[in-house]
Structure 1
């Protein structure tokens, strides 16, 4: 598991999150270094403030990390839909 705080939250695959971010209109570009992907937001702020890193463990990204990135890139609806369809998770809890 990524860490003990994520035991009760769903994880998303790196590929699924990558596709959500690529579909965002706020994405200016990406840089890949090893297994880390840097996503750059559009805008005029400093590059350091517009850069968001995606790091995965065993092909999965934690709930908090994925949520933070999706809020910045405006793809939170897609993330929640993915959790509902693939992890049976909605509105803060799992369902059958």
Structure 2
């Protein structure tokens, strides 16, 4: 899903860690680099997933995926920005 945003400039893999360099103008380093470490279970925490999605401006896709694949829908959120 990260690669589908079209904002990934470069992907770097070191061991079980993958870092994505994000195309961004004038943003801080925190917003330009996303690092994900594979813990072996192929999953990522909800907090981390939504944080990345907000940074990449694709929160609607993540919320839809969570609802369809994890039967998770919290409260009355809207996917419209």
Q: TM-score range by the shorter chain?
A: 0.7 to 0.9
Instruction: Mark the CA change 1:30 to 1:45 in structure 2 (over 3 Å): closer, same or farther.
Output: farther
Root mean square deviation of aligned Cα: 2.2
Higher helix share: 1
Give the match's secondary structure for 1:38. Answer: strand
Tell me the secondary structure at the aligned position of residue 29 of structure 1: strand
**Count of aligned pairs:** 74
Within 5 A, what are the aligned runs for 1:1-96? 20-45=1-26, 48-49=29-30, 50-57=32-39, 58-92=41-75
Deviations 1:29-50 (A, max 9, x none): 2111111110111024478441
Moved over 2 A (4+): 43-49
Kept in 2: contact 1:27–1:73 (CA 8 A): no
Gaps of at least 5 residues in structure 2 are 76-81
User: What TM-score does the superposition give when structure 2 sets the normalisation length?
Assistant: 0.76
Greater RCO, 1 or 2 (C-alpha within 8 Å, sep 6+): 1
Asked whether the equivalents of residues 26 and 74 of structure 1 are also in contact (C-alpha less than 8 Å), the reply is no
Segments of 5+ residues of structure 1 without an aligned counterpart are 1-19
